[in-house]
Structure 1
Amino acid sequence: MSKTMKLAIAMLLGLTASAMAQDIKVGAIFPLSGGAGPDGQGVTNAIKLVAQQINDRGGLLGRKLVVISKDDESTPAVGVSRANEMIAEKADVVIEGWNSPVTLAMQPILARAGIMDITATSKSDLILNGETNPYAVRINSSNSFDAEAIANYVANTLKAKKVAFLTQNDVYGNGFQAAVESEFKKLNFSGEVIRTEKFAFKDTDFRVQLTSLKGANPDAIVVTSSSNSSGLPALVEQYRQADVKSAFVGAVGIMLSTVFKVAGDANNGIVSADIFFPDLPPFTTFPEAVAFVSAYKKAYGVDPDKGAALGAGALQVWAHAVEATKSLDRKTVAEAIRGKSIKGTVFGDVQFLPNGQMQPRYVMFKVVDGKNAKLEALQ
């Protein structure tokens, strides 16, 4: 082989390597199938949309973002496998987490590989305890923050005297119930918890639990569920069919568009809280939120729900920190987020606590037209 040909090949290989180096790989690990599949697809779509918006503005550090999407099937073992695949594919950051057990299984895998890991949705307080990921960052509100909002509504607004729980039996559901009960004690709640019924994430038949709760006749039933496309709509419909008279108080973030789409007007009267709404203030006053909602609706034909906003916010926050530090290093980027303020996200200007938790701002609401997903703000 001539020197000229060798030089040409070397130059070609160099150009190819340089082109490959231009891509920044953004991993997205969410359920894309099963009971939470449509929700995970919405989050993933939002991440892809924001990546495209960043690319349209010239990319990040002058480089193109490429989103690598994987299905964790809402199963910890599958999540671990997907995390290892992200490591093999040399992802620069991984945005993950619909189910807390899956996030907790993936965290140490990604941390040991030195990959920046941002939790978009999973709520367990254990995610930010620092033991498996000292540089953890979470966009969604946590169980403990959520519990304060819900406990205050049940005790001080609803003034319930008898409370029951219908709880998803995993680290998310059990953690949320424990946090609410702890908040009741802080509030010197004069009522009592009279019954707890539990179910598995994959359950779709809740008639036994609902019969038990109806017999107990509490003033309010606090409900957790992360199966927003399957289990929760079934639960809502069966709740109405059983003619349970108790107030249905949903945990923060469970009343998503997928629930309204399936269960329709069976959702009417449900009270819950959340940290993002596409058509309610203050979000309608944030330029980034307005632009995101418009672009998402144009791309996918529907308004983005809170899950989609969390995916978008996760990538926006990370990209802001990368631009500010001119680095992709996990520690450097994490320290530019944890305990800091980040401007210009779908959630407005946001503040992160030192442990990596984004400070949430809640809006309590009641469903007034479930078929058309119309809500009434209660505060």
Structure 2
Amino acid sequence: MSSKLLGRRQVTMGATMGVATLATPLLVRAQEQPIKVGTIFPLSGPAGPNGQACTHAVQVAAEMINAKGGVLGRKIVLVSKDDESTPAVGVTRANEMANEKVAVVIEGWNSPVTLAMQPVLARADILDITAVSKADPILAGQANPFAVRINSSNGQDGSVIADILANRLNAKRIGFLSQNDAYGNGAQSVIEAELTKLGKPWEKVVTEQFPFKQTDFRVSLANVKQAKPDAVVAINSAESSGMPALIQQYRQAGIEGTLVGAVGTILPTVFRIAGEAMTGVVSADIYFPDLPPFDGIKENIEFVAAYKKAHNELPDKGAALGAAALEVWASAANTTKSLDRKTVAAAIRGKTVPGTILGNLTFAANGQAQHKDTVFKVVDGKTAKLEVLK
């Protein structure tokens, strides 16, 4: 009896040792395998060029991070998807990322797409970092309690545009050309609220709304002209199609009121298409690749050089946000020595992440990055020359 029991013990121990011996190489191989990082941006359609720039920038950032040892000693590989600026497609892409078993998804040019994808990625326990989409509900915590956003929000932007209108332009009769979705409606609502807070007299003389994919604004602009506004706020995230078309048609309509672009919408793609019509536009943004303070940040200098070498042009703000999103995630993962969604998010939300393209980037407790805006006026649309307004 004792002998049989001993024999059983010997067999059991031998089997266990065999499993351990087999498991060790598997564990080593798993630790050596690359980490999948997902990107979901519009790669086609009205915002296709902008989403492509974001995706290219994440790839450049991944190569830079890999050259410095990667994340947890493993290389990063990208899995990139096209959301087509369509919420239903975004949901499909988010499910595909879950099947790919990515560690994190960097996403978001259009707020409605981001909002549609959030619950899918949350259910899959994938950390979701929004690079660009601005709608305030993205960080409300309902669909994604561990949300992180790199770009400024509608809430942050509203006070900047209100200050431009009331204090810099002294505009009293104000019009709005607003994208009719979570981004555009939210942005206009916040700007109106901030104008009221400033306590200066103003009135909304006209509001014209349009879908994201619209490129013909002539009827809306006729209504705007008739209202005789002092200033008109253009809220349009189709910076490769709708926004430059709107600006060109605004000039053609002969509207005298100053055209104010929503924060972050006056990108190089707008200049390339709208050209001279850009002259006189006033706006603000949070990143310029070759202006202070970014031209003095080592990480940004390296990123700009690498991006320019790969794509023969300077990165725009959207590109920088995509790259910064990867930097922030990689830094938090390396700091915590974890890929766990909750653990990594806790190292970002309410913390300061050092050494990014954007400098030492501080996040509010809800995951919103904090930024300082630069207000500018376009003095020459042909050459994209800007005057920084103090």
TM-score scaled by length of structure 1: 0.95
Q: CA deviation at 1:373?
A: 2.2
Structure 1 Cα separation of the partners of residues 120 and 299 of structure 2:
33
Q: CA deviation at 1:375?
A: 1.4
Q: 1:277 to 1:55 in 2, by over 3 A?
A: same
Correspondence 1:100 to 2:111: yes
1:150 maps to which residue?
161
Q: Please point out which of 46, 54, 77 is paired with 1:66.
A: 77
Q: 1:37 to 1:20 in 2, by over 3 A?
A: farther
Q: CA deviation at 1:58?
A: 1.7
Task: Tell whether the 8 Å contact from 2:149 to 2:369 is kept in structure 1 after alignment.
Answer: yes
Q: 1:16 to 1:114 in 2, by over 3 A?
A: closer
SS in structure 2 at match of 1:371: coil
User: Which whole-Å deviations, capped at 9, do the CAs of 1:187-229 have from their partners, x for residues lacking one?
Assistant: 1131111110111101010000101101111000011001111
Q: Please point out which of 338, 363, 368 is paired with 2:379.
A: 368
2:352 maps to which residue?
341
SS in structure 2 at match of 1:313: helix
Correspondence 1:118 to 2:129: yes
2:171 maps to which residue?
160
SS in structure 2 at match of 1:360: coil
User: Which whole-Å deviations, capped at 9, do the CAs of 1:228-287 have from their partners, x for residues lacking one?
Assistant: 111111111111111111100000010111111111111111010000001111111111
SS in structure 1 at match of 2:213: coil
SS in structure 1 at match of 2:382: helix
Structure 2 Cα separation of the partners of residues 21 and 134 of structure 1:
31
2:152 maps to which residue?
141
Structure 2 Cα separation of the partners of residues 233 and 314 of structure 1:
27
SS in structure 1 at match of 2:305: helix
Structure 1 Cα separation of the partners of residues 363 and 54 of structure 2:
21
1:292 maps to which residue?
303
Q: Report the more deviating stretch, 284-293 or 330-339.
A: 284-293
SS in structure 2 at match of 1:186: helix
- Superposed, 1:161-310 pairs within 5 Å as 161-310=172-321
SS in structure 1 at match of 2:38: strand
Structure 2 Cα separation of the partners of residues 79 and 14 of structure 1:
38
Counterpart amino acid of residue 301 in structure 1: N
Q: Which ranges of structure 1 fall in alignment gaps of 5 or more residues?
A: 1-6
Identity between Structure 1 and Structure 2 (%): 61
User: Which whole-Å deviations, capped at 9, do the CAs of 1:86-123 have from their partners, x for residues lacking one?
Assistant: 00000100000000000000000000110000000000
Structure 2 Cα separation of the partners of residues 96 and 189 of structure 1:
38
Moved over 6 A (4+): none
Q: Please point out which of 319, 325, 330 is paired with 1:319.
A: 330
Task: Tell whether the 8 Å contact from 2:31 to 2:74 is kept in structure 1 after alignment.
Answer: no
The count of aligned residue pairs is 371
TM-score scaled by length of structure 2: 0.92
1:4 maps to which residue?
none
Structure 2 Cα separation of the partners of residues 225 and 17 of structure 1:
49
2:90 maps to which residue?
79
User: Which whole-Å deviations, capped at 9, do the CAs of 1:120-153 have from their partners, x for residues lacking one?
Assistant: 0000000000001000000000001000000011
> Over the residues paired in the alignment, what is the CA RMSD in angstroms?
1.7
Counterpart amino acid of residue 155 in structure 1: A
- Higher CA-based Rg: 2
User: Which whole-Å deviations, capped at 9, do the CAs of 1:292-330 have from their partners, x for residues lacking one?
Assistant: 111111110000000000001100111110111000000
Q: CA deviation at 1:291?
A: 1.2
Q: Please point out which of 38, 50, 62 is paired with 2:49.
A: 38
Structure 2 Cα separation of the partners of residues 15 and 263 of structure 1:
56
